[in-house]
């Protein structure tokens, strides 16, 4: 019995220990669960909520330099386009439009939106590589190679130890990067300033080809500082511009013969390796009086090269087209139209028909109008004779982008013949480009038909966005191509861009908020610079425009503010003081109390009131008499006066004052480092919580049941970068974009006062976008 008692005690003790262990674990798990719950709650509180949006481009079509088209050599209808600052695209044959590939790039990687080269694997149509980097300036980050195995749907980013210049001189040269057609693991990349690089694992790792000759181009001596800058931007070569493999030299390891062209002049600029890249030598007897701009190897062993004295698109004054017989080493000058002292121009590009090595086309750059202007020449006998394609008769279809009919053919830095269809050819331009499906008509003396091929490519840079309370959906002020009135967001404006006058840049646009049919735009007239008609106005929502007088003969660019009733305009031309007019621009008077370059905003309710700020001095300017006088008082912002350090892109919507629609005296200051609000003239500006960085700010229609406009913001809220909306005057913010829709650098944002939830975005090279809440 005693023994049994001991057993019972042991059992009881064991049971009690188990009980305590279980209770401890329960308490432990409860504590952990509580901590997790508290962490989750804090995390939820620390991050703004998100709302799904559908995003689409406002249709302009093109609007920027498409500097390269790359066809897959065997896969029908597979081709890619690169742009100098707006990313890369893949053609969708089913949808008959281009699909953007780099919209996922975040602000931190905005430099990668400039694509310098595209390389495809001849034996794997799913493989595509992009070499990315917009500038080689010292303060700009290094470039990267983006590698995709699914035709650009996803990419792996490979950081490179050097810079690239996708938006620098010579950006139309190429292609700098190439995949060995005999071994898809071998990829070569030519750089501007850092020699030749090679990957042996499909682009994931790279090493410098140390055996490649020194091709550094030194600056000429004795240049002034201004001349040095000009030389560096417009005259200096653009480095190693093309890599070409000779498939006839293929072995199990890869092609043994490789050619590289270098943008050098008056010295050797074409190099060859015959041992798979181990050693390199200059090709004998090569022409050195110009720089190569493009090179292509035909399947009969003829290497065709176009030349000019600058890389372009800077002005060219000399150039040629040559061919090298790679079998016997003979060079032949096959230039179709030779430049001379009277008629100076160069050759930008050359392409060969994959089905017939004797058929090629070449394009000019800066060819004078007196001898026919820019031209594509075509030969069917290897360059012995040529025909001018445009001069033979050309019919253009502008319907996909009506605005381009006001812009001449220019910057044809890539021309291509579809390897699967010799009748299909494309050429690029500064606004996109054209394609034809009857190229061989030129051989028969019949006109060729060309149409805009850039549907889906949107590369404009909106410098201002206006969504008026009535009338069109949106008005865009665009760099280089003026601007547009968008009645239908999904179709290009049928009338094209602004006319009478036709602007190059439109820097500012505003409307009378109570009379929105009155609009005023400022910028610079195309082709005239500061001496043009640089301001225009409309009283019919932009259906027609008329120029106004200017405050001075060289007033241009700058910012415009229009009073709520349209009777007073304030224009601050670039590098000038503000001026006001009360007679539709007939006469102007200077506002002496405002400093140069002061941006003025009009009250959206009271036509007598205008506002301006000087963040560096910490001052608020206020007019209550229709711009006749401005008073000054301290801003007393919580973060104090600002310095002139890095505060975002100067063209963006930050560091500005905004007047709230429908609320007199209600002002917002969207400083780069914070958001401030003042409800009326007697209320100081209050720093709004959670907003730590701003690149754009705007208003939209109030949410149902609210009487205050929705707020929209580009920046950082609660530690998260994105695009945001607040329906309750900043009490809560909702992120309305996602990581797939970031678009690099964003400059402007505004809501639509006519439709709740709709928002417009101005990007730096991906055009104007609009978003609606997903249903």
Cis peptide before 501 (omega within 30 of 0): yes
Is residue 358 within 8 A of residue 379, CB to CB? The reply is yes
Q: How many CA atoms lie within 13 A of 37 on its CB side?
A: 6
Q: What token pair was written down for 456?
A: 């889906």
The closest of 61, 128, 136, 120 to 101, measured between CA atoms, is 128
Give dist(CA 747, CA 625) in Å, integer: 32
Partners of 272 in the β-ladder: 259, 281
Is residue 259 within 8 A of residue 243, CB to CB? The reply is yes
The closest of 645, 479, 671, 695 to 139, measured between CA atoms, is 645
Is residue 503 within 8 A of residue 546, CB to CB? The reply is no
Q: Which of 180, 194, 480, 673 is catalytic?
A: 480
Element (H, E) at 42: helix 2-46
Question: Positive or negative, the Cα torsion across 307, 308, 309, 313?
Answer: negative
Q: What token pair was written down for 255?
A: 């092609």
Q: Which of 84, 121, 414, 752 is catalytic?
A: 84
Cα end-to-end distance, the chain, whole Å: 78
Is residue 493 within 8 A of residue 512, CB to CB? The reply is no
Give dist(CA 309, CA 312) in Å, integer: 9
The closest of 75, 76, 123, 82 to 101, measured between CA atoms, is 82
b/e map 475-513, b = 16+ CB within 10 Å:
bbbbbbbbbbbbbebeebbeebbbeebbbbbbbbbbbbb
| 480 flagged as catalytic | yes
Is residue 765 within 8 A of residue 63, CB to CB? The reply is no
| 84 flagged as catalytic | yes
Give dist(CA 673, CA 734) in Å, integer: 19
Q: What token pair was written down for 3?
A: 């023994």
Burial, 561: exposed, middle or buried (Cβ in 10 Å; 0-12, 13-18, 19+)?
A: buried
Q: Which residues are designated catalytic?
A: 84, 480
């Amino acid at each position: 019995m005693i023994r049994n008692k001991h057993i019972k005690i042991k059992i009881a003790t064991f049971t009690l220990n188990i009980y305590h262990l279980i209770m401890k674990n329960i308490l432990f798990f409860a504590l952990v669960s509580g901590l997790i719950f508290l962490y989750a709650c804090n995390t939820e509180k620390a991050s703004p909520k998100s709302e799904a949006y559908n995003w689409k481009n406002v249709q302009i079509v093109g609007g920027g330099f498409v500097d390269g088209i790359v066809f897959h050599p065997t896969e029908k209808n597979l081709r890619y386009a690169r742009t100098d600052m707006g990313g890369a695209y893949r053609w969708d044959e089913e949808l008959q439009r281009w699909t953007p590939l780099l919209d996922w790039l975040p602000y931190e990687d905005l430099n990668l939106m400039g694509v310098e080269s595209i390389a495809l694997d001849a034996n794997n149509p799913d493989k595509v590589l992009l070499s990315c980097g917009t500038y080689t300036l010292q303060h700009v980050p290094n470039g990267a190679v983006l590698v995709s195995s699914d035709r650009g749907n996803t990419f792996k980013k490979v950081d490179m130890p050097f810079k690239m210049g996708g938006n620098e001189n010579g950006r139309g040269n190429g292609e700098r990067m190439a995949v060995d057609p005999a071994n898809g693991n071998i990829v070569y990349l030519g750089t501007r300033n850092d020699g030749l690089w090679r990957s042996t694992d499909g682009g994931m790792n790279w090493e410098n080809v140390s055996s490649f000759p020194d091709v550094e181009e030194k600056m000429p001596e004795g240049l002034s500082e201004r001349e040095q800058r000009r030389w560096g931007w417009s005259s200096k070569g653009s480095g190693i511009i093309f890599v070409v493999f000779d498939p006839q030299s293929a072995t199990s390891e890869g092609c043994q013969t490789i050619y590289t062209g270098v943008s050098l002049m008056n010295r050797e600029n074409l190099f060859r390796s015959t041992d798979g890249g181990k050693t390199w030598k200059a090709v004998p007897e090569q022409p050195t009086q110009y720089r190569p701009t493009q090179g292509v190897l035909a399947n009969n062993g003829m290497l065709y090269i176009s030349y000019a004295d600058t890389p372009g698109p800077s002005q060219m004054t000399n150039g040629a087209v040559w061919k090298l017989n790679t079998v016997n080493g003979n060079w032949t000058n096959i230039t179709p139209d030779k430049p001379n002292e009277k008629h100076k121009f160069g050759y930008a590009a050359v392409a060969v028909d994959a089905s017939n090595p004797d058929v090629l086309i070449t394009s000019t750059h800066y060819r004078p109008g007196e001898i026919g202007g820019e031209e594509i020449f075509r030969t069917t006998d290897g360059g012995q004779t040529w025909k001018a394609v445009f001069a033979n008769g050309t019919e253009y279809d502008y319907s996909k982008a009506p605005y381009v009919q006001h812009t001449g053919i220019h910057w044809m830095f890539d021309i291509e013949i579809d390897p699967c269809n010799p009748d299909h050819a494309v050429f690029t331009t500064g606004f996109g480009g054209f394609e034809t499906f009857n190229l061989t008509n030129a051989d028969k003396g019949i006109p060729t038909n060309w149409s805009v091929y850039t549907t889906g490519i949107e590369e404009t840079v909106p410098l201002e966005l206006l969504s008026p309370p009535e009338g069109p959906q949106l008005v865009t002020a665009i760099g280089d191509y003026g601007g547009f009135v968008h009645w239908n967001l999904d179709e290009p404006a049928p009338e094209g861009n602004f006319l009478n006058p036709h602007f190059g840049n439109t820097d500012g646009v505003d409307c009378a908020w109570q009379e929105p049919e009155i609009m005023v735009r400022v910028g610079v007239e195309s082709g005239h610079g500061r001496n043009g008609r640089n301001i225009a106005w409309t009283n019919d929502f932009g259906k027609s425009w008329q120029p106004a007088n200017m405050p001075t003969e060289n007033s241009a660019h700058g910012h415009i503010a229009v009073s709520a009733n349209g009777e007073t305009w304030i224009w601050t031309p670039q590098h000038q003081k503000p001026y006001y007019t009360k007679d539709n621009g007939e006469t102007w008077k200077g506002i002496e109390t405002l400093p140069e370059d002061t941006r003025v905003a009009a009250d959206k309710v009271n036509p007598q009131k205008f506002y301006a700020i000087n963040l560096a001095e910490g001052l608020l300017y206020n007019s209550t008499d229709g711009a006749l006088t401005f008073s000054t008082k301290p801003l007393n912002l919580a973060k104090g006066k600002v310095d002139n350090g890095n505060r975002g892109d100067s063209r963006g919507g930050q560091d500005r004052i905004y007047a709230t629609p429908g609320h007199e005296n209600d002002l917002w200051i969207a400083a780069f480092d914070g958001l401030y609000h003042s409800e009326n003239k007697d209320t100081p500006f209050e720093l709004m919580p959670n907003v730590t960085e701003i690149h754009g700010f705007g208003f939209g229609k109030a949410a149902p049941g609210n009487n205050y406009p929705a707020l929209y913001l580009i920046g950082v809220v609660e530690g998260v970068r994105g695009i945001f909306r607040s329906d309750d005057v900043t009490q809560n913010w909702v992120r309305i974009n996602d990581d797939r829709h970031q678009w690099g650098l964003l400059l402007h944002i505004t809501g639509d006062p006519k439709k709740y939830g709709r928002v417009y975005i101005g990007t730096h090279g991906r055009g104007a976008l609009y978003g609606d809440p997903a249903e």
